């Protein structure tokens, strides 16, 4: 849907997108920056070139890591970004790309102020761009206190009109039980990530609404194929047979999820469970381990997330259940965890042997699951935590990106998934239902399938 781009044209060959930009859009005016002009094509040009131009002084700021830009294939897809005039931008691609517009609506493609960027670069503090942001959205950044809160206030010159909410505070509360207690006490109006065990009591509380819908997410257990014994196909397949996923659903999700037989959640338009799914079969697992020559003396590590995520309410408990299942087929498993940022960094660098992770879709396109998580390009950046790179699989998802016919794209993704299941770089575990609890004096809150909570259009009675 139109946002900062009012409308666009696509060339007949699918290689050029011309975006007509919205005029008279104001950037945020804060105590650390006052804009002197409206949003225009220079800002779009800057926002993309800082991620794509390795010679730009901006490329190395904050570590020079633009993993989404690269994992979505934009580094090889975009040939050029051209300013036609102040309110027209042309993006030229190296090849047609069906999910391109969907990907352009993602957070990594947000437009930043070039004028603000120039000012912090001139002051010798370019890193401020990433920690004190300036955008065009409905709320302006005020303050972030680590592990405590993020404060915002309404953007008075927002192009859609000033929000009814004047102030917005994200109170960082790690413990879900404490979050629920704060909601019940009226200390906050909206709660993120409720525990499955609390849903029933929330629905009975006359002061609380609980919206729900199928989540665009997948929880999985990934194997680093660069480390023995997971370089062996039989071992990876054995793990898939060894895990009782229904027991995990019963204990961890308690009716708030369903078994994942596919990379994709059922809400994605190309979903279909592949024919070659794994069912719980410890005897089959033992046989495969024996064939692989590792039966009886195998010891592995399971990395478990230290945080609750939309796709996994309790990774530590999930790891313990997997540990129990593995013991039944003669495998000793050790559970490892780190602080969340360290966990992500170390696993991106491939230090793990096996890891519990998951994914919440960003835009509803199937490519958003396949390319960032399982492509060869994502194996190079480390977002593909299995480091599995299968050329036949990669060619199929690349063809699906180019293909414009949705029915043909479906067939290509389904062929790719058959390869994925056969090669078994993951155990696909669960798709979690998305729940959004909030007090009944909150109006206009819409549940977001992508996992965030957005407050534009929200009012308090």
Q: Quickly list DSSP for 178-234.
A: HHHHHHHTTS-SB-SS--GGGHHHHHH-TTEEEEEEE-SEEEEEEE-TTSTTTTSHH
| pLDDT of 389 over the 80 cut | yes
| pLDDT of 267 over the 80 cut | yes
pLDDT at 297: 82
pLDDT at 367: 94
CB atoms within 10 A of CB 442: 16
Q: Which CATH class is domain 217-433?
A: alpha beta
Dump the DSSP string for 345-364: HHHHTT--SEEEEEEE-SSS
The Cα-based distances of 143 to 27, 149, 151, 158 in angstroms read: 17, 8, 5, 19
pLDDT at 404: 87
Q: Strand, helix or coil at 318?
A: helix
Mean pLDDT in residue range 363-375: 92
| pLDDT of 390 over the 90 cut | yes
Query: Tokens 């009975």 belong to which residue?
Result: 204
pLDDT at 114: 97
Mean residue pLDDT across the chain: 95
Tokens linked to 329: 């087929």
Mean pLDDT in residue range 420-429: 97
Cα–Cα distance between 205 and 352 in angstroms, integer? 43
pLDDT at 448: 85
Going from N- to C-terminal start, the domains of the chain cover 5-127, 217-433
Band of pLDDT at residue 26, cut at 50, 70 and 90: very high
Residue 77's Cβ-side half-sphere holds a number of Cα atoms within 13 Å equal to 26
Tokens linked to 90: 């042309």
* pLDDT tens-digit series, residues 78-89: 999 999 999 999
Tokens linked to 258: 């369903």
* pLDDT tens-digit series, residues 28-55: 999 999 999 999 999 999 999 999 999 9
| pLDDT of 337 over the 90 cut | yes
Residues in a beta bridge with 200 = none
Beta pairing, strands 298-303 & 217-223: unpaired
Nearest to 383 by CA among 362, 410, 409: 362
Share of the chain above pLDDT 70, in %: 100
| pLDDT of 451 over the 90 cut | no
Rounded to two decimals, the pTM is: 0.84
Residue 16's Cβ-side half-sphere holds a number of Cα atoms within 13 Å equal to 10
Share of the chain above pLDDT 90, in %: 87
pLDDT at 62: 78
CATH number (3.90.76.10, 3.40.30.10, 3.20.20.70, 2.30.30.140) of 5-127 reads 3.90.76.10
- CA 204 vs. chain centroid, Å, equals 32
Residues in a beta bridge with 85 = 88
| pLDDT of 362 over the 90 cut | no
Band of pLDDT at residue 159, cut at 50, 70 and 90: very high
* pLDDT tens-digit series, residues 90-135: 999 999 999 999 999 988 999 999 999 999 999 999 999 999 999 9
pLDDT at 452: 86
Beta pairing, strands 139-145 & 149-154: antiparallel
Query: In this structure, are residues 238 and 289 in contact, taking their beta carbons and an 8 Å threshold?
Result: yes
| pLDDT of 70 over the 90 cut | no
pLDDT at 104: 93
Dump the DSSP string for 21-62: EPSSPPPP--SS---SS---HHHHHHHHHHHH-TTSTTTTGG
Band of pLDDT at residue 295, cut at 50, 70 and 90: confident
pLDDT at 217: 95
């Amino acid at each position: 849907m139109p946002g900062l781009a009012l409308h666009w044209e696509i060339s007949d060959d699918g290689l050029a997108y011309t975006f007509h930009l919205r005029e008279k859009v104001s950037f945020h005016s804060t105590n650390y920056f006052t804009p002197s002009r409206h949003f225009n094509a220079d800002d779009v040009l800057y926002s993309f070139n800082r991620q794509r131009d390795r010679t730009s002084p901006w490329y190395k700021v904050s570590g020079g890591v633009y993993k989404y830009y690269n994992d979505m294939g934009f580094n090889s897809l975009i040939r050029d970004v051209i300013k036609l005039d102040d309110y027209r931008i042309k993006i030229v691609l190296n090849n047609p790309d069906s999910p391109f517009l969907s990907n352009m609506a993602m957070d990594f493609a947000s437009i930043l102020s070039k004028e603000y960027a120039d000012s912090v670069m001139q002051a010798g503090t370019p890193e401020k761009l990433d920690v004190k942001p300036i955008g065009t959205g409905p709320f302006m950044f005020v303050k972030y206190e680590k592990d405590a809160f993020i404060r915002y206030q309404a953007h008075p010159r927002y192009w859609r009109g000033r929000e009814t909410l004047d102030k917005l505070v994200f109170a960082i509360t790690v413990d879900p039980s404490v979050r629920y207690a704060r909601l019940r006490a009226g200390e906050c109006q909206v709660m993120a990530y409720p525990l499955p065990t609390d849903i029933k009591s929330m629905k009975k509380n006359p002061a609380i609404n609980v919206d729900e819908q199928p989540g665009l997410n997948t929880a999985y257990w990934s194997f680093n194929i660069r480390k023995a014994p997971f370089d062996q196909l039989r071992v990876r397949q054995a793990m898939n047979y060894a895990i009782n996923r229904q027991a995990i659903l019963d204990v961890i999700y308690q009716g708030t999820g369903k078994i994942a037989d596919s990379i994709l959640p059922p809400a994605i338009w190309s979903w279909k469970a592949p024919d070659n799914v794994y069912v719980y079969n410890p005897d089959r697992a033992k046989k495969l381990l024996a064939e692989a020559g590792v039966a009886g003396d195998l010891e592995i590590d399971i990395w478990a997330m230290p945080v609750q995520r939309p796709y996994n309410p309790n990774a530590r408990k999930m790891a313990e259940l997997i540990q129990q299942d593995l013991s039944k087929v003669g495998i000793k498993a050790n559970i490892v965890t780190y602080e969340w940022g360290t966990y992500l960094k170390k696993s991106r660098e491939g230090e793990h042997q096996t890891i519990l992770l998951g994914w919440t879709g960003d835009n509803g396109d199937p490519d958003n699951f396949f390319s960032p998580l399982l492509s060869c390009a994502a194996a190079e950046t480390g977002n593909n935590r299995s480091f599995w790179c299968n050329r036949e699989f990669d060619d199929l998802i690349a063809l699906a990106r180019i293909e414009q016919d949705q029915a043909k794209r479906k067939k290509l993704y389904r062929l790719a998934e058959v390869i994925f299941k056969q090669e078994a770089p993951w155990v696909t575990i669960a798709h979690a239902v998305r729940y959004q609890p909030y007090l009944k004096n909150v109006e206009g809150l819409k549940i977001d399938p992508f996992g965030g909570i957005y407050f534009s259009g929200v009012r308090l009675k």
